[in-house]
């Protein structure tokens, strides 16, 4: 599949057109940003790792019945995906309190929630991706009740699948972010699922194995990305 | 009813104990604050107006089946109320987009919502009273599903009652904030319902008749408070 003109460049990925108007190439960069772009840096080979991990995790959630945009991983840094009209909502799942939720409500990180929380945020960098409730989304007409129900159902399946998978490998899936989009009338899971978009803690030690190592200058960033990649992708 | 020791002093009101441990006196001050206390001032006789307006509106919502903490208005600035253990949630109802919601999502003020939005915020000045979803509240164990359902039911009754009342008087009830608390096992509507806690726009001119005149330095603050007081309370 030949790369066509650049469609869009984001913080961690670039999208390129292909000769097929329904398909685009998602290119994974090593650029890392945090705190709504206030912190910037590079994680060596992050793009390669995230492409592999995302491919493997998309395959896993597809087995659980969640439709994704993944067609195939083309090479180290490129994934062929279905072209999506991305919904302006980020879907965040929280199993334990961490990150933004801890700061927002003045809570300690690591509190186990009585049940997983599915949180929506309005995807808008200039506004800082503010939290939005389902009631707001419906009242503004930004999605229908059916679409929200579908997002929640798919998100619950992803959480159940990945929580179990990482638990069996010795890790806690603390929280993660999903993005969905429309493709030919269907809503598909898009974007990526990797250490940039998940918090993973080692069960025994609570060691952080995700982008928090970069966000919080904890060191060993590349090692954590590589270690999780080997665990997720096996000896591929 | 004799005033006892001061129990609590807030931004706009003071609570005093009484000889009855189940009852407290709510004293209405003229102090006005906005933007989480960053702006401070005085609205002459606001306390007197808010005490009258709140008493009248509490009576109205009680007729609609909503239980409140009101016992009786004692004098110009004092209201006898049932003692509440206030829930740490502010309940905000929005019929049109304005204020925080407009800023948070980058929207124009005055957009009519497809349906009223009931929004919760975590009552915490230091954190800026952040928006919180029902999913968060339940997952943190801060309220039960039954309590949330009760708050929503009461809030919907208040909105229906007051929207109709103000509409008939020629005003749009844009949004308002409620606080609830526990009293002997029951959840009662507490605090106040007045121009400090509601946005009211004149239907024909969209003239603001509420605390936004103070927040935004629009002038005629006292006139707006007095005019609405006369409308709500009649010739009392």
Domain B6-82 class, CATH top level: alpha beta
> In this model, does residue A31 exceed pLDDT 90?
yes
Contacting residues of A for B134, CB less than 8 Å apart: 133
pTM of the model: 0.93
CB contact under 8 A, B126 and A106: yes
Higher per-residue pLDDT: A110 or B1: A110
**C-alpha of A121 from chain center:** 13
Percent of chain A with pLDDT over 70: 99
- Tell me which residue in A104, A119, A127 faces B104 most closely, judged by beta carbons: A127
Confidence of residue A221 (pLDDT cuts 50, 70, 90): very high
Q: How far is B130 from chain A (nearest CA, A)?
A: 7
Q: How many residues does chain A have?
A: 236
B62 close to B70: Cβ distance less than 8 angstroms: yes
CA proximity to B119, closest of B109, B108, B129, B107: B129
Q: pLDDT at position A236, please?
A: 44
**Cα gap B183→B200, rounded to integer Å:** 30
CB contact under 8 A, A133 and B115: no
Q: Which CATH architecture has domain B85-216?
A: 2-Layer Sandwich (3.30)
The secondary structure element, H or E, covering residue A104 is helix A99-105
Close Cβ partners of B29 (under 8 Å, ≥ 6 residues apart): B12, B13, B14, B46, B47, B77
Region class of A121: left (phi > 0), else alpha (psi between -120 and 50), else beta: beta
pLDDT in tens, chain B (236 residues): 789 999 999 999 999 999 999 999 999 999 999 988 889 999 999 999 999 999 999 999 999 999 999 999 999 999 999 999 999 999 999 999 999 999 999 999 999 999 999 999 999 989 999 999 999 999 999 999 999 999 999 999 999 999 999 999 999 999 999 999 999 999 999 999 999 999 999 999 999 999 999 999 999 999 999 999 999 998 54
CB contact under 8 A, B127 and A106: yes
Angle at A236 between CA A64 and CA A52, to 5 degrees: 60
Contacting residues of B for A113, CB less than 8 Å apart: 139-140
Q: pLDDT at position B236, please?
A: 44
CB contact under 8 A, B141 and A114: yes
Which of B123, B135, B144 to mutate: most A Cβ within 10 Å?
A: B135
Q: pLDDT at position B37, please?
A: 84
CA proximity to A50, closest of A18, A82, A76: A76
- What are the CA-CA distances from residue B79 to residues A193, B19, B21, B67 (Å)? 56, 15, 16, 16
**Cα gap A51→A192, rounded to integer Å:** 8
Which of B140, B143, B159 to mutate: most A Cβ within 10 Å?
A: B140
Domain extents in chain A: 6-82, 85-216
B215 close to B34: Cβ distance less than 8 angstroms: yes
- Tell me which residue in A105, A135, A139 faces B127 most closely, judged by beta carbons: A105
CB contact under 8 A, A133 and B138: no
| Residues in chain A whose Cβ is within 8 Å of chain B | 94, 101, 104-107, 111, 113-119, 122, 124, 126-127, 130-136, 138-141
């Amino acid at each position: 599949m030949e790369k066509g003109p650049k469609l869009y460049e984001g913080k961690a990925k670039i999208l390129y057109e292909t000769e097929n108007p329904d398909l685009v190439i998602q290119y994974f960069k090593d650029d890392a940003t945090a705190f709504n772009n206030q912190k910037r840096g590079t994680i060596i080979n992050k793009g390669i790792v995230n492409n592999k991990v995302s491919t493997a995790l998309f395959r896993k959630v597809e087995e659980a019945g969640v439709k994704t945009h993944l067609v195939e991983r083309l090479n180290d840094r490129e994934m062929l995906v279905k072209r999506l009209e991305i919904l302006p909502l980020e879907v965040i799942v929280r199993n334990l309190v961490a990150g933004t939720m801890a700061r927002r409500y003045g809570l300690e990180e690591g509190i186990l929630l009585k049940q997983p929380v599915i949180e929506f945020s309005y995807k808008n960098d200039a506004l800082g991706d503010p939290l939005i409730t389902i009631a707001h989304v419906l009242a503004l007409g930004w999605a229908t009740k059916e679409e929200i129900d579908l997002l929640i159902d798919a998100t619950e399946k992803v959480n159940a699948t990945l929580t179990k998978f990482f638990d069996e490998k010795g890790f806690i899936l603390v929280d993660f972010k999903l993005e969905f989009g429309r493709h030919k009338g269907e809503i598909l899971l898009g974007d990526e699922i990797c250490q940039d978009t998940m918090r993973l803690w080692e069960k025994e030690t609570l060691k952080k194995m995700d982008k928090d190592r970069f966000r919080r200058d904890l060191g060993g960033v590349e090692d954590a990305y590589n270690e999780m990649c080997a665990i997720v992708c096996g000896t591929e």
